[in-house]
Amino acid sequence: MTTSHDYGAESFTAPHIALFPNAGMGHLMPYLRLATTLLGRRCRVTLITPSPTLTAAESAVTASFLLSYPEVSHHELRLIPDDDNTTSGNPYFLRFGRIARSIYLIRPLLSSVSPPLSAVVSDLLAASQAGPILADLGLPLYILWTSSAKLTALVDNLSSDPSRFNSSLSQVDFPANLGIPPLPIESVPPPFFSPDHILTHMLVTNARALHLAKGILINTFEGLEHETLKALNHSRIENGMPPLLAIGPLELCRMEPPKTTTPAQAGDYKRWLDCQPADSVVYVCFGSKDPIEVAQIQELGKGLMMSGVRFLWAVKSRELSDKADGVRELLGDSIGEDIVGRGRGMVVSEWVDQDEILGSPAVGGFVSHCGWNSVAEAAAAGVPVLAWPQNGDQGVNAHVVEESGLGIFPKNWGIGNGHRNGPVKGEEIGEKIRDFMKNEGLRARARRIGEAAEVAVGVGGSSHATLTGVLREMARRPPDAVTVTVSRILRYSIPVSA
Ligand code: UDP
């Protein structure tokens, strides 16, 4: 690999880093990847997970990860009991609040970890609670931001004046000096329009506490969000805010399939995929949750059938029963004999190994809800994305997909179920998927983004250099035993201390 970067060698002591993720697979996965990346840089890693977990998948994946990486120390932070007896509302938001209220319990855990820690990496929503504790312990706090850099621009806007967000506006404008294009109002997460919403309240409180952090690590890279990173870092550093540190794409975790998938089921779709021609399969997955209503799921099924394209669909729905024919029941008559696994398509209701699927030569496109992990994984694999955001930050991330050239974003499909009269029809979906899979120009652009990802994390690449800077800063804390030699980037690295 050739790069224009100028680097030499420098020795420093590898830091010991505690990682404390928030609830949900979308939060857990990037922390496990960060752990893998840090192990690759010879760091010592302690993983602290909230207990109990919100979903069975989190426990299963954590267990599988720890089995595969026994060098990672693990502690559980026992959450305080739910004191509000709230059973209604978004379970994720409620759990974020419970974790924040339990963070004071982390102090004895952090001070007893041996060898002593060099730094703690945690979620934005922990900043205001964890920041003062860590300052007291003399431990630097880094945030791992689990979405796009572009979303940080929106959250900065929100935290400076939440009343500016109004659903009757047509767009959100960013400060002119940033040069970031305005965001159509439909792409703004709906909770942002209510300052009293639990998520908005937590985001604003914690974003205002970000000065307590040394830096914000992001699973993104120059080839995906160059303009946004450049603009935001310029203004953040001027305003004394911690910099955005693009260190992605984070490494894949090499682990056994979690116990939510039986080996037989895992084997089925992998065997099927192995038999398909290159770039012929569209992979469809809307993340770890269940964002799509049944009527839309059935139209999507019809669309996949009408597209004439081979497909692998990892379907998730709370309406999906455990029965042997649960998938058939959910899909109704939208998909016929093609589900059998010998035909043109395959529908899997279990947890799939998305990394492996995206890395398969057979996969030529990804219909995605644009959860940030999925976008970053598609970018790393160089697989084009047909963006179909459903909620939360996904609308913002879908713009990143489009602006970077990684994929297409049919905006007339709306975001989620709220913006249209009824579901997007199968005919329209089928036609779009057919055109998407035939788009060789798009495939070539996505491939180039995958190549840029590889360069970014290679020695001398932008993400590698940025992480080196972070590790060097962290290593100023009490030493761990291992001393490593790392590359020292003399130019193009982002300053770490604000
Ligand atoms: N994922 C997976 N198998 C599945 C569903 C999801 O491996 O069957 C992984 C996916 O690769 C990603 C994460 O779960 O790393 C989902 O995160 P994302 O941010 O894309 O979406 P969310 O689930 O948070 O909406």
Which residues are identified as catalytic? 27, 123
* pLDDT of amino acid 2: 31
Is residue 258 in some structural domain? no
pLDDT value of residue 342:
57
Domain check: are 446 and 463 in the same one? no
Question: What's residue 432's pLDDT?
Answer: 98
Token representation of residue 46:
């302690």
pLDDT at residue 260, rounded to an integer: 57
Q: Residue 96: give its domain's CATH number.
A: 3.40.50.2000
Residue type at 229 in one-letter notation: L
Asked if 269 and 351 sit in the same domain, the reply is yes
- Residue-wise pLDDT for 129-177, tens only, equals 999 999 999 999 999 999 999 999 999 999 998 888 888 999 999 988 8
**Whole-angstrom distance, CA of residue 390 vs CA of residue 130:** 31
pLDDT score, position 497: 30
Distance 234 CA to ligand 1 centre (A): 32
**Residue 498: predicted pLDDT:** 25
- 314 ligand 1 Cβ < 6 A: yes
Residue 129 sits in the same domain as residue 219: yes
- Does residue 389's CB lie within 6 angstroms of at least one atom of ligand 1? no
Q: In the chain, which stretches have pLDDT less than 70?
A: 1-10, 83-87, 257-266, 337-342, 417-420, 477-498
- pLDDT for the residue 151: 96
Q: Would you say the CB of residue 151 lies under 6 angstroms from ligand 1? A: no
Q: Cβ(146) to ligand 1 under 6 A?
A: no
Q: Is the pTM of this model over 0.85?
A: yes
Same domain, 196 and 219: yes
Within this chain, do residues 165 and 297 fall inside the same structural domain, yes or no? no
Token code pair at residue 306: 């009408």
Say whether both 239 and 114 belong to one domain.
yes
Is 68 part of any domain? yes
* Domain extent for 58: 4-253+458-491
**Predicted pLDDT of residue 476:** 83
How high is the pLDDT of residue 494? 34
Is 49 inside any structural domain? yes
Pocket probe for ligand 1: among 25, 270, 348, 377, the residue whose CB has the most ligand atoms within 8 Å is 25
- Indicate whether 330 and 445 sit together in one domain: yes
How many other C-beta atoms lie within 10 A of the C-beta of residue 230? Answer: 15
The pLDDT score that the predictor gives to residue 259 is 61
- Verify that 237 and 277 share a domain, yes or no: no
Distance 7 CA to ligand 1 centre (A): 36
Same domain, 239 and 107: yes
* Number of structural domains in the chain: 2
For ligand 1, the distance from its centroid to the CA atom of residue 248, given in whole angstroms, is 16
- Residues 6+ positions from 239 with CB-CB distance below 8 Å: none
* Per-residue model confidence (pLDDT) at position 485: 36
- Who contacts 122 (Cβ-Cβ below 8 Å, separation ≥6)? 19, 20, 21, 130, 141, 142, 143, 144
Q: What pLDDT, on the 0 to 100 scale, is given for residue 371? A: 96
Residues 465 and 349 in one domain: no
Q: Can you tell me the distance from the alpha carbon of 14 to that of 472, in angstroms, rounded to the nearest whole number?
A: 8
Cβ atoms within 10 A of the Cβ of 63, count? Answer: 15
Q: Do 410 and 464 reside in the same domain of the chain? A: no
Would you state the pLDDT for residue 25? Answer: 92
At 477 the pLDDT is 62
